[in-house]
Amino acid sequence: MSGFDKLQTEVIGAGLCTDCGMCAAVCPRGIVVMDYDIEEPRLTGVCHPRCQVCYMSCAGKDIPVPELERMVFGRERNPSQELLGICREFRKGQSTEDKVRVAGATGGLISGLLIYALERGIIDAAIVVGMMEDRPWRAMPRLATNKEQVMAAGQSKLQMVPADAALGEALRQGFKKLAVVGLPCHIHSLRKMQLARNATKLAGCVKFVIGLLCGGNWTHKATEHVIDEVCGVSLEEVAKVEYRGGEYPGNFRVTTKDGRQVSVTSPVRRNHCWGFRHDRCGGCFDYSNDLADISVGDYHHAEMVRGVPGWSAFIIRTSTGLELVEAAQAAGYVATETIEEEYLLTGAYEWKIHGSSYHLEERRRHGLPCPDFHLPLTPGPLRRRLPYDHPHFKA
């Protein structure tokens, strides 16, 4: 059975594919393409019957977190790190340049770090996510090689995107020093690819990994639904879609070809999206991107109100992450300050981790396919509670 046959049976056909795109990146024959309509990979050629490369790098079904932690950190998490994984420091950060910050989702921290790394030659390209030219509401991975391209790809795209697939394209174009930005599921497959050691050239190109926190994601149908149903704009009229357009926290904003703008707030967008949540996200157990060099999310502090300059909250996990942040700060690209751990724990954490434990238990009980994170999944109420007595939760 070829690796892709196994993916088809155990992952794609079982509803466990995260649309990460890694199978397309690593296939030595280049015969895997990502199908943007169904958000899954498709085979376009004939496999070598003994090839297992794509299967070994796929984290759709099997995510051996302890083994991956040993590879990345040299050790596994201890019980006190159950909530957010192995962490060195908690900080808030933002780009020091206003236009980079406003082009970003929260503080533009990620864009600031990527611009620094590109301009200093630490990387020659970054894997980011932009929009398609012919369908400007549909996200796709892109390679950014300069500041303008990084800024154009700023902000969260709240839909499934096979970002890892761009790694294969980066290699084909001859790039040798890459930064990867991705959701936890992108980073799971990236780390599995590094562990498997059967795509060593690709693995050797990755200089650092920036993870996004992820409370869950939606299929691209959610975006189409909101544009049409809530904004009252037909897809043919769309020129641009932003999920967090404008100053913090930004709005879902559609610009039409004749220059009209329609905005809705994030809570309104979310309310209309729930039915379109990607099925695999319900059993996902990584909120804080536990295998990245740094993990970045919203800064949920009382001072963060509409219109104030935004900050991103982030976790520094590795020495690579620490060196990057310190150097970018010393060079004046980003500003950072220490914050308490509690600011990384949000309502999304609660429904992601506690909810996923419950969801996975139920799926197992009914004999349905489940991703295996190799972590103890006790039912929600038995896991450590969130720090509800902290001012962050009272604000």
Ligand X SMILES: Cc1cc2nc3c(=O)[nH]c(=O)nc-3n(C[C@H](O)[C@H](O)[C@H](O)COP(=O)(O)OP(=O)(O)OC[C@H]3O[C@@H](n4cnc5c(N)ncnc54)[C@H](O)[C@@H]3O)c2cc1C
- Residue 128 near which of ligand X, ligand SF4, none (CB within 5-8 Å, type-dependent): ligand X
To the nearest whole angstrom, how small is the minimum distance from the Cβ of residue 395 to ligand X? 15
Contact set with ligand X (CB under 6 A): 104-111, 128-129, 153-158, 161, 163, 181-183, 212-215, 217, 296-298, 312, 346, 348
Q: How far is the CB of 332 from ligand X (least distance, A)?
A: 17
List of residues 6+ apart from 184 with CB closer than 8 A: 211, 212, 214, 284, 286, 287, 288, 289, 290, 291
Which of ligand SF4, ligand X, none interacts with 346 (beta carbon under 5 to 8 A by kind)? ligand X
CB of residue 93 vs ligand X: minimum separation in angstroms?
Answer: 7
Compare residues 5 and 82 and give the one whose CB is closer to ligand SF4: 5
Backbone angles phi, psi at 298, to 5 degrees: -70, 150
Of 95 and 155, CB closest to ligand SF4: 155
- Contact positions toward ligand SF4, by CB under 6 A? 2-4, 7, 11-12, 17-23, 27, 29, 31-32, 41, 43, 47-48, 51, 53-54, 58, 60, 183-185, 189, 214, 216-217, 278, 280-281, 284
Task: Please count the other Cβ atoms lying within 10 Å of the Cβ belonging to residue 274.
Answer: 10
Q: Which is nearer to ligand SF4, 60 or 112 (CB)?
A: 60
- Dist CA 11 CA 171 (whole Å): 26
Taking the least distance from each CB to ligand X, the nearer of 53 and 161 is 161
19 contact choice in ligand SF4, ligand X, none (CB below 5 to 8 Å, kind-dependent): ligand SF4
Instruction: Output the CA–CA distances (angstroms, integers) from residue 254 to 26, 186, 222, 240, 273, in the order listed.
Output: 35, 27, 14, 6, 16
Binds 123: which of ligand X, ligand SF4, none (CB < 5-8 Å by kind): none
Nearer to ligand SF4, 12 or 68 (CB): 12
Q: Which of 295, 310, 308, 309 shows the shortest CA–CA distance to 345?
A: 295
Residue type, 339: I
> Considering beta carbons, is residue 177 or 317 the nearer one to ligand SF4?
317
Tokens of 296: 């970045």
Find the shortest distance in angstroms from Cβ 233 to ligand X.
Answer: 21
Query: Residue 153 binds what, of ligand X, ligand SF4, none (CB under 5 to 8 Å, by partner type)?
Result: ligand X
